[in-house]
């Protein structure tokens, strides 16, 4: 729904704030302490969000707010999954999440769609653009992405996974520019840079100080 009112590039960067929100929610809900890098990352991302949305109020719209609420939901999903993934198998947990989203999306289609007859219209459902969208969003971006993340995360570290995910808004902005010719304002570009740097800082590990050892005289 948010994408109906805002741009794909802004959506990618605002959604990417979930990477920064995770440690903040971990502090509030799981009592995990925030590192110095995380605090710097949160501050940078907050500045970036301000530049993208509030600095130029002509660009601020309801879509930005809806996407921001979506980012909060993604962060809570990561926190909840991290809490229960230790005791539940990964594959059933993933299948339940995807199935739940599918069911709620189906119900929401009846609630928010102005013309209900369009949902079951053969003229609409048989269009090439509809099946292309389903292939990209349902098969690749959801089913395959969840499976790939679950499978390959066993071979890398959480920090590297988070850093890879932080590239999402960059690809969103690049794809939006190539496919639909979207151009960001100067304030939005600077805001995107701050958000990206904030996500990187939030996931960088803190170097532990080596203990001072005293030699024998």
Contacts of residue 133, defined as CB under 8 A and 6 or more positions apart, other chains included, come to none
Within a domain: 45: yes
Contacts of residue 18, defined as CB under 8 A and 6 or more positions apart, other chains included, come to 71, 72, 74, 75, 78
Contacts of residue 48, defined as CB under 8 A and 6 or more positions apart, other chains included, come to 13, 190, 191, 192, 193, 194, 195, 196, 197, 198
Q: What pLDDT score does 151 carry?
A: 72
In 3D, which of 152, 189, 146 has the Cα closest to residue 169?
Answer: 189
Within a domain: 87: yes
**Share above pLDDT 70 across residues of the chain, in percent, rounded to a whole number:** 80
Within a domain: 169: yes
Band the pLDDT of 211: cuts 50, 70, 90: low
Band the pLDDT of 69: cuts 50, 70, 90: very high
What are the pLDDT digits (tens) for 140-160?
888 888 777 767 766 765 556
Q: Structural domain of residue 81, as residue ranges?
A: 2-203
Within a domain: 194: yes
How many folded domains does the chain comprise? 1
Within a domain: 66: yes
Within a domain: 61: yes
Q: Say yes or no to pLDDT of 81 above 80.
A: no
Within a domain: 213: no
Of residues 215 and 165, the one with the higher pLDDT is 165
Within a domain: 208: no
Range name among 9-13, 143-147, 206-210 with the lowest pLDDT average? 206-210
């Amino acid at each position: 729904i948010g994408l109906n009112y805002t741009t794909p590039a802004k959506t990618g960067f605002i959604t990417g704030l979930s990477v920064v929100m995770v440690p903040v929610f971990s502090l509030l809900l799981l009592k995990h302490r925030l590192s110095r890098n995380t605090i710097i990352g949160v501050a940078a991302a907050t500045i970036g969000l301000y530049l993208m949305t509030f600095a130029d109020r002509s660009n601020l719209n309801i879509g930005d707010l809806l996407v921001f609420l979506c980012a909060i939901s993604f962060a809570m999903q990561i926190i909840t999954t991290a809490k229960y993934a230790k005791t539940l198998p990964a594959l059933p947990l993933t299948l339940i999440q995807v199935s739940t989203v599918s069911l709620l999306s189906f119900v929401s289609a009846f609630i928010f769609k102005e013309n209900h007859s369009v949902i079951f219209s053969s003229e609409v459902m048989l269009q090439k653009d509809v099946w292309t969208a389903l292939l990209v969003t349902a098969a690749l971006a959801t089913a395959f992405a969840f499976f790939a993340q679950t499978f390959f995360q066993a071979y890398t570290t959480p920090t590297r996974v988070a850093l890879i995910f932080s590239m999402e808004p960059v690809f969103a902005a690049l794809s939006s520019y190539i496919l639909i010719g979207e151009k960001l304002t100067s304030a939005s570009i600077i805001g995107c840079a701050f958000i990206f740097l904030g996500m990187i800082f939030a996931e960088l590990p803190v170097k532990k100080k080596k203990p001072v050892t005293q030699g024998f005289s």
